[in-house]
Amino acid sequence: MQVAFAGLGNLGSGIAQCILKAGFDLAVWNRTFSKTSALVDRGARAAATAREAVAEAEVVVSCLMDDQSVIDAVQSPSGILAGMKPAAVHMCVTTISPRCAEQLEAIHARHGSSYVSAPVLGRPDAALSGQLASFLGGPAGAVERVTPVCNAYSSQVTRVSERPAAANCMKLALNYNIVSIIELIGESYVFAEKCGLPLEPLRDFYQQLAFAHPALRMYAEKLRARDFAGRGGFVMKGGLKDVRLMLQTAADHGAALEIGKIIEPKLKAAVDAGMQEQDWSAFYEITRRNAGLT
């Protein structure tokens, strides 16, 4: 199967490497062309434009930043739709809004191609090791065609619905649980520190008793150690984008995400304080600042 991949950031580069290792014929495109070199060294073909990358592809995978970057990559004169074969499938792994998924579904329907939302759960290290969880929404035939590609980078693939937007709602619900638990851990650590307590017993409670999932255990230690620097995580600006998508989608459906309303201004304050490229859990520093801790 010929696959095209657009977007080689922290997450995308790991996913693309897994697809290549699984034996697919892979063409890659990235806005910063130099980021294609590592994939080319492993056997991929680099394209100067998305249009060129997708020309022969049966499955086109996009891993970009947000709604606008995906729409731009699809509709640009040198973009995905301009070069995509009508019978091909576009699979977007980006965390986008359900509204954007519906827009992409309509765009592809007019073009004669198919669209599948396939957001992933997991950090860049999980992408590189093929341990992401994928949630698929789209027509049965299109989902069947993209599933072998998903299997290359996922340890779990779940078909959510024939509606692409449903998969994006699922991803937002899962991310809401994670960011809310980060807030809970952060508040508890601040409470303990203000009371003069060591944080290690709380950390051990989260890691050994309360939270079995490795990601939550990791966040318990990240916050305790205040270790948020470096690449390889989920950056703050992406976290702010996701929480805003959660709140907007909840409002669209008449629901209230009250913890999210607490978290959003903290994420915004962290971005404004220059932490936009740090791990999203670094908004703990705003919780500390609000409590008078340094």
> Can you read off the two tokens belonging to residue 38?
């590592």
Residue 51: how many other CB atoms lie within 10 Å:
18
> Can you read off the two tokens belonging to residue 117?
């939302």
- C-beta separation of 228 from 222 below 8 A: yes
**Does 171 participate in catalysis according to the annotation?**
yes
Same domain, yes or no, for 195 and 157? no
- C-beta separation of 171 from 179 below 8 A: no
Q: Which of 21, 171, 237, 266 is catalytic?
A: 171
Same domain, yes or no, for 220 and 148? no
Q: Find the length of the chain.
A: 294
23: left (phi > 0), else alpha (psi -120 to 50), else beta? left
Q: The domain spanning residue 194 has which CATH number? A: 1.10.1040.10
| Contacts with 169 (C-beta within 8 Å, 6 or more apart), sequence order | 98, 249
CA distances from 153 to 13, 123, 127, 194 (A): 11, 12, 6, 43
> Can you read off the two tokens belonging to residue 150?
């998903």
What pLDDT is stored for residue 229 in this prediction?
Answer: 84
What pLDDT is stored for residue 212 in this prediction?
Answer: 86
Same domain, yes or no, for 38 and 184? no
> Can you read off the two tokens belonging to residue 274?
């220059």
Residues of the chain with pLDDT under 70: 230-232
What pLDDT is stored for residue 102 in this prediction?
Answer: 98
What pLDDT is stored for residue 230 in this prediction?
Answer: 65
Q: How far apart are CA 247 and CA 293, in angstroms?
A: 29
Same domain, yes or no, for 121 and 193? no
Q: How far apart are CA 153 and CA 163, in angstroms?
A: 23
CA distances from 256 to 76, 90, 102, 243, 264 (A): 36, 32, 22, 13, 13
Domain residues for 64?
2-162
DSSP string, 212-248: -SHHHHHHHHHHHHT---SSSS-BHHHHHHHHHHHHH
Amino acid letter, 149: V
Q: How far apart are CA 5 and CA 245, in angstroms?
A: 24
106, 7, 122, 133: which is closest to 66 by C-alpha? 7
Asked which of 129, 162, 195 is the last residue of a domain, the reply is 162
Give the count of domains, the chain.
2
Same domain, yes or no, for 147 and 10? yes
Q: How far apart are CA 196 and CA 190, in angstroms?
A: 10
